[in-house]
Structure 1
Amino acid sequence: MNTDNVVKHLRALWRTDRIIADIRLRRLLVGLGLRAFAALIAAFGLLMLEFSAYFALVQIWSAIAAAAALGAINFVIAAIVFVVAGRPPSGHDIELATEIHGTSIEALQLEARALQDQVSGAVHHPLSTIVPVLVPLIAIIIKTMRKGAKQPAAEA
């Protein structure tokens, strides 16, 4: 297991998570702003259509029947708008970021498995992991002891 690889994969994972969140937030804000503006325009247009339809229907039906019919039509229009607005957006950039995110997760899992293999190998064969550390440590201790022995001889 290489800690540089782990750090690299964690950074890639973090960056892709930020990119995905940024893309989703931008889409949400732009979509929300455009929907609000479209809703405002549609509300004024619908209001004008309501007035004209009401005045036309009052001539044929009673005022109550005309208002009820227009209210039902408004509910149908609102349901259609909600269905259209609820569709998920599709984009190439979010797919790419999600793919990189998955790749980073897989790489981190491979590094974790390598660490697990090293730890289990160290448990089964403790001398094989201690010897590479022990040899340089012994050399440092011997050098330190030689320097300590030479200094009192030089002072005398």
Structure 2
Amino acid sequence: MNTENVVKHLRVLWRTDRIIADIRMRHLLVGLGLRAFAALIAAFGLLMLELSAYFALVQIWSAIYAAAILGAVNFVIAALLFAIAARPPSGRELELANEIHGASVDALQIEARALQSHVSGVVHNPLHGILPLMIIPLITIIIKSLKKPAAAAAPAKSAAAEPK
């Protein structure tokens, strides 16, 4: 497990989550603005259309039937506007951000599995975790101990060779 990889994947995950949230927020704000604008225009437009339609329908039917027909038409138009505003966001940005998000989550899961296997290996056999750290100091101690007797034997041989 590499902590740099974990940090890198967490940064990518954080950034893609921010991008996804930003895209969705922009979509919600645009949708809300369009709904409000559509409602305002629809209110003024329908008021004028209803007034003219009411005067036209009163000539043909009674005032009650004219008002009922115009109310039903208003509900149909409002339903169409809400259906158009409720469309899901479509765009390559959101798809790309979702793909990057998925890839970074997968990479974090791989790092977590590596950490879990490393920790379980250390718990089950603690020497495997300590042994690599101890090999180099042990080798240096062994080499130094092997050099000391050879170095001590060399002055003894030179002292024995001088009395002849």
TM-score, structure 2 length as denominator?
Answer: 0.78
Query: Structure 1, unaligned stretches of length 5 or more?
Result: 139-156
Percentage identity across paired residues of the two chains: 75
**1:46 maps to which residue?**
46
Larger radius of gyration: 2
**Moved runs in structure 1, 4+ residues, more than 4 A?**
134-138
Deviation at 1:133, TM superposition (A): 3.4
1:128 aligns with 2:128: yes
Counterpart of 2:122 in 1: which secondary structure?
A: helix
**1:32 maps to which residue?**
32
**2:9 maps to which residue?**
9
Letter in 1 for 2:25: L
Deviation at 1:134, TM superposition (A): 4.2
Bigger relative contact order (CA 8 A; separation at least 6): 1
Q: 1:61 to 1:12 in 2, by over 3 A?
A: same
Query: Structure 2, unaligned stretches of length 5 or more?
Result: 139-164
1:90 aligns with 2:87: no
- Residue by residue over 1:31-61, the C-alpha shift from the partner in whole angstroms, topping out at 9 and shown as x without a partner, is 2112211221122111111000000011111
- Residue by residue over 1:95-142, the C-alpha shift from the partner in whole angstroms, topping out at 9 and shown as x without a partner, is 00010000000000000111111112212321121123346788xxxx
Letter in 1 for 2:121: G
Partner Cα separation in structure 2 for residue 122 and residue 52 of structure 1: 84
Give the total of aligned pairs. 139
